[in-house]
Structure 1
């Protein structure tokens, strides 16, 4: 990692694709060639902030643990850092290589999938709010999760998490409201489990 790489992460994504409307609960999930969902499988999709961000690390570690306990669901983490940087970041995490088979990582360094799912460039307040800065310190002090080197990706790219049922319908939508917004993955899981229970009663 070089100083220039770290500096580049503070620039907004160059020439980003047009950002679509955010998927609404009850709507069909966006269909993109780079992110294919398994037909008939319920899926939790998390779009990460840049690799090196402590909130991206916390989100991924949570996703990995939930995936281990929910074998009947698919889990996808989408990274907008490039493949080499994403892989280097994954190797640096605690218990690296312990990802279960139902969790896969998709690299989207052109942010085409992010844009299709309504996730564009963040505002100054979203990225650098006092609450987010405090959360960085708190996460480091309480859980030992600090900033790691940022080799690629933008700190201004927004994150978000979605739950999609087996028919490809969005059942839970949580675009990040601030940089420190950690998704409630258990709520995402419940949203597709509850949909299955409702269908069973019909």
Structure 2
């Protein structure tokens, strides 16, 4: 990791004509389709997490919680989406506690071009979203209470908005939204419950 890489993480991500964010899907709508992620007719319910940059302590906490949820709910598919490069994402994953302990129903998708982020309505966040006094305090509290601090950022933008969604077995969005602030951590048990409540055949297996 170089000083230039760390500095670049403070640049606002620039959308292209194919990644310019649309609106996030409302509950009850079909999941957006992209070449890299098509949940229009999945064989199993899916929880999606769009991470902030690899190195962000809130992204780390979110991923660790996702990993635990995936171990508890083996019949649900879990996908973490990173906009950092494939190499930076793997370096970050290798640096996490209990690296390599992910269950088979958890995958990590690299979306460096922000195509999937854009399709789900996740663009650049505001100044208040990232560096509000409360967000900065939350960074300190997470480090103090759980030992999760900033890690080196090799690629990706600190301004990229994160989010989370739950898609049922028919490809319909049943849970989730864009993050309202950088420090917001989703409750994955709520997501699994929302998916199961509308897919009886899946609910029996959870």
Query: Structure 1, residues 34-69: CA drift from partner, whole Å, max 9, x if none?
Result: 113372210000000000000000000000000001
Compute the displacement of 1:199 (Å).
Answer: 10
In structure 1, the partner of 2:166 is 163
Q: 2:37 aligns with which of 24, 35, 38?
A: 35
Q: Distance in 1 between matches of 2:38 and 2:199?
A: 21
User: Mean Cα displacement is larger for which, 151-160 or 190-199?
Assistant: 190-199
Q: Distance in 1 between matches of 2:188 and 2:168?
A: 15
Compute the displacement of 1:173 (Å).
Answer: 1.8
Q: Distance in 2 between matches of 1:172 and 1:125?
A: 25
Query: What's the TM-score, normalizing by structure 1?
Result: 0.96
Q: Which structure 2 segments of 5+ residues have no match?
A: none
User: Mean Cα displacement is larger for which, 186-195 or 77-86?
Assistant: 186-195
Compute the displacement of 1:198 (Å).
Answer: 10
What secondary structure does 1:65 align onto? helix
Compute the displacement of 1:196 (Å).
Answer: 2.2
Matched residue count:
200
Compute the displacement of 1:193 (Å).
Answer: 1.0
Superposed counterparts of 1:63-102, under 5 Å: 63-102=66-105
In structure 1, the partner of 2:137 is 134
- Superposed CA RMSD in Å reads 1.5
In structure 2, the partner of 1:19 is 21
* Closer, same or farther: CA 33–130 of 1 in aligned 2, 3 Å: same
**Native 8 Å contact 1:48 1:56 kept in 2:** yes
**Native 8 Å contact 1:123 1:156 kept in 2:** yes
Query: What's the TM-score, normalizing by structure 2?
Result: 0.94
What secondary structure does 2:61 align onto? helix
In structure 1, the partner of 2:190 is 187
**Native 8 Å contact 1:174 1:183 kept in 2:** no
What secondary structure does 1:142 align onto? helix
Query: Structure 1, residues 98-150: CA drift from partner, whole Å, max 9, x if none?
Result: 00000000000001100000000000001111110000000000000000000
**Native 8 Å contact 1:45 1:161 kept in 2:** yes
Compute the displacement of 1:175 (Å).
Answer: 1.1
In structure 1, the partner of 2:4 is 4
Query: Structure 1, residues 2-55: CA drift from partner, whole Å, max 9, x if none?
Result: 011000000001344211111000000001111133722100000000000000
